[in-house]
Structure 1
Amino acid sequence: MIVDYSTKENTLSDDIQRYQKALPYPHIIFDNFLETASAEKALAVFPKIKDDGWIHYVHVNEKKHGLNKLELIPDFIRDEIIHELNSPKFIQYLEQLTGISNLLPDTTIEGGGIHQSEKGGYLNIHADFTVHPHKKNWRRRVNVLVYLNKDWDASYGGALELWEKDMSKCSVKIAPIFNRVVIFNTDEDSYHGFPDPITCPKDVTRKSIALYYFTEEKTGSFKRRSTNYRARPNDGIKAIFIWLDKKMISIYTWIKGTFGINDDFVSKVLNMFRKKK
């Protein structure tokens, strides 16, 4: 069993209250969320960044790597963990926890899948894109992040930061420790990230499984917006570059949705240019 639903059902009433009343926006943290042997196996088969299929998100607002080609994700992570976390039973649990009805899993895991950051990696504070890149009436509602970092020292940094809706301050910091799961609403002001470069040793990476959930809405009932990166109060002149990069990403998101391309295609093009240099 990947998830112990009997235990979750016993605490569900309290967890619903914790989730929906949490600040700065609805979220919850669970330790030892996956069955221990499953979490251990997921870590054991977690692929290296140099393996095939990784997309390299390297620009002003982030420096991380993602793998969302299902056929290249290790069988156990794809067929057991991702399959379970996209299953009707888990979706039903998420709907009860969040209070959001009719959630839909993204079986294409566009933008999600497995993520990894090396020493120096970071992800600036942002609110997630609001619409599925290839389903224009799918509104993004919930994130589930599974961390797989054993012996992660606090000195490495990399804590997930949840910021106030007015971007005045960081409200919550969540260490990305092994078998910890963070679930949170992805509203237009659900600002989060790990903005300071991590300082882990070269042979250590920050690993996670990221899954996104949507609801199907009437076309035009909500605003389509790409990832909204925001500067922190102490970012100074860096704020200008964060804003400019955000505008470029907005253009890229429009191109992706209009022409049906994906991050993997763009990553391959960028890698071709790198090889020519």
Structure 2
Amino acid sequence: MVYLHEMDEKFGHVSSNIDREKGSELHESYQQADPFPHIVIENFLPPNVLEVCLKDFPASSEEAEQKFDRRQERLKESFNPDILPPSTRQIFYSFNSRPFIRVIENITGIKGLIPDPYFAGAGLHRIHQGGHLSVHADFNHHKPMNLERRVNILIYLNKDWQPEYGGQLELWDQDMTRCAHSIVPSFNRCVIFNTTQESMHGNPQLINHPQGIPRRSIALYYYTSTWDETKRDATTQFRVRPGTNDRVDWRTKVNEMALELAPPLVMRNFRRLKKHLAGTH
């Protein structure tokens, strides 16, 4: 049975008559999950909704808002919903609607969740053959809205995906001593989890589909108005798995040390110089 059967198959709207307590039945399992609060839900949406997303998924990489190709995130692209056809845009707008958000609040127990109209880093994601995303903790501050990131939702679009194709979502403990879960990114499987500096996750296994088909997913992020000056702004924090060839993200570490040690005026001038130099190339 489809979990969110209250979502319209044609337009992706979640009925305003949906049970206000829907999701509460999953809250205890979510909170008690190891190694951090999360849940895996099979058959999350009406399949036709995801078929629309697959039909509208950009074939070309030219439309990608972000492209990553370095040691920690190889051959990864993200597409902002605003560049997609109306049929998929309205599905993403439904993910930002009150009926949908209330379900997520009931599951997570986090009230006052705020959607992101900018879809910063969210939208449709694709990782090509040979690509991967190393284990990491996500950025925690939505600067334009000055909000604290709290919840991630991943919905997979990969039909008949087998473990040997790679791309499993791995959930690690905070100390990076063990992988608690390895989740195959199968079609209509949804993973919801708390986003903190302790929620280590990623898909470090290389994509290895026999027909060269990329790994595709929907990524949604939600926030709360709990950010204040006592919290430390952090970008994506990559971690190294023991006994692997994972590489330390020295670029981020050096930037963070510079931010902590350099006077604010120096850093402001440094950013202006970087922006100027980027605009001259």
Which residue of 2 is the match for residue 243 of structure 1?
249
Question: Deviation string for 1:86-108 (max 9, x for gaps)?
Answer: 11111111111111111111110
CA contact (8 A) 1:161 1:170 kept: yes
* Aligned position for 2:134: 124
Cα 1:253–1:37, aligned 2, differ >3 Å: closer, same or farther?
farther
**Which of 192, 197, 200 matches 1:191?**
200
Residue in 2 that maps onto 1:97:
107
Q: Residues 207-263 of structure 1: CA distance to partner in whole angstroms, max 9, x if unpaired? A: 01111001112521322111111101113xx45x42314326759999xxx79x9xx
Q: Which has the larger radius of gyration?
A: 2
Q: Give TM-score scaled by structure 1 length.
A: 0.82
RMSD: 3.0
Report matched runs for 1:17-36 at 5 Å.
Answer: 17-36=28-47
Change (3 A) 1:216 1:4: closer
- Give the structure with the higher percent helix: 1
Q: Which residue of 2 aligns with 1:67?
A: 78
1: CA distance, partners of 2:55 / 2:164: 24
Q: What amino acid does structure 2 have at the position aligned with 1:127?
A: A
Offset at 1:24? 0.5
The 8 Å contact of residues 158 and 175 in structure 1, kept in 2 or not, is answered as yes
Alignment of 1:35-50 (within 5 A): 35-50=46-61
Amino acid at match of 2:139: F
Is 2:164 the partner of 1:164? Answer: no
Structure 1 residues 161 and 249: alpha-carbon distance in aligned structure 2, compared to 1, 3 A threshold: farther
Partner of 2:264: none
Alpha-carbon distance in 1 for matches of 2:29, 2:123: 27
Distance 1:195 1:20, change over 3 A: same
Task: Report the AA paired with residue 15 of structure 1.
Answer: L
- Look up the match of 1:154: 163
1:77 alignment partner in structure 2: 88
AA aligned to 1:134 is P
CA deviations on 1:47-88 (whole Å, 9 max, x unpaired) are 1243423421111210143334443123222212x1111111
State the SS of the aligned residue for 1:246: helix
User: What is the deviation of 1:19?
Assistant: 0.7
Unpaired runs of 5+ residues, structure 2, are 1-7, 261-267
Task: Give, in whole Å, the separation in 2 of the partners of 1:178 and 1:69.
Answer: 21
3-state DSSP of counterpart to 2:234: coil
Alpha-carbon distance change, 49 to 245 in structure 1, aligned in 2, over 3 angstroms: farther
| Secondary structure class of the residue paired with 1:231 | coil
